[in-house]
Amino acid sequence: MTGEEAGSAERRRGEVRQRYGSIAARPDPAGCCGGSGTSGGCGCGDASAPGACCSEELGYSPEDLARLPPGADLGLGCGNPTRLADLRPGEVVLDLGSGGGIDCFLAADRVGSDGRVIGVDMTPEMVARARRLARSSGRKNVEFRLGEIEHLPLADGSVDVVLSNCVINLAPDQREVYRDAFRVLRPGGRLSISDVIATRPIPPEAREDADRWTSCSAGAISRDELVEILGATGFVDIEVSVSGPTSGPGGSLENQRDLGVYPGTVRASKPIPP
């Protein structure tokens, strides 16, 4: 990476930290759905509607949501990766860009007291919020670490499942994110990602727009790019799907839709050596 590229990447991270730090610092960010369009984050719908709450539309059951510590659901996702992952008791789970902790807390319930869940987020305010909620809810099998998802603060081959919910698109180099996820997974480990996917080329001017990038729009890449990245990294059993304009959970924010960006899922696994 050249000095110019490194500077651009750090500028992008700074923009993301600023936006999501401000969301985390609010006592109750725009109700249960975080924010709408350009005013909030990656949210899943129009939180401006009276009584709007989009998390059930993303695949979270009412029972799941009832088990969460109040304040964990900031409405910033675009799916439910815990549902995709088929989590098992005793597993070690990593959440990339864990935010307020919604998926970490749900995963912690699924893996049980013999399992462990680690959330990594680069925004100090989000980590502080999630740690506070872990303490107040008495969950002993979940922890939150400050770090970049491109440079994970975990040992090689130390986790069974990697989750992420509408965060990897915010990274300046998604290839590097998947490479480090592969590193920390054990052989046979699984990747379960909800994210936004581009269905057509995104104009360069949109890529440079900080608001479009930090609201989970301009950083999306195509299904073909994702498949290529995952294969080149070493993943197998690769499945990448796009929900489309009108189907699938959560719909799309307006500034995503006009770029042809829609929710999708990414699943893959790390091969077991022969």
pLDDT tens, 73-131? 998 999 999 999 999 999 999 999 999 999 999 999 999 999 999 999 999 999 999 99
Closest C-alpha among 80, 83, 154 to residue 117: 154
For 186-221, write each residue's pLDDT tens digit.
999 999 999 999 999 999 999 999 999 999 999 999
Contact 99, 17 (CB under 8 A): no
CATH architecture of 3-269: 3-Layer(aba) Sandwich (3.40)
Q: Rounded mean pLDDT of the chain?
A: 87
Tell the burial category of 46 from Cβ atoms under 10 Å away from its Cβ (0-12, 13-18, 19+): middle
Say what the pLDDT of residue 244 is.
63
For 8-34, write each residue's pLDDT tens digit.
889 999 999 999 999 998 875 444 444
As a whole number of angstroms, the distance between CA 238 and CA 214 comes to 27
Say what the pLDDT of residue 31 is.
42
Amino acid residing at 194: S
The mean per-residue pLDDT over the stretch 228-241 comes to 98
Say what the pLDDT of residue 75 is.
86
3-state secondary structure of 261: strand
Pull the structure tokens for residue 142: 């979940």
Least confident of 131-145, 214-228, 232-246: 232-246
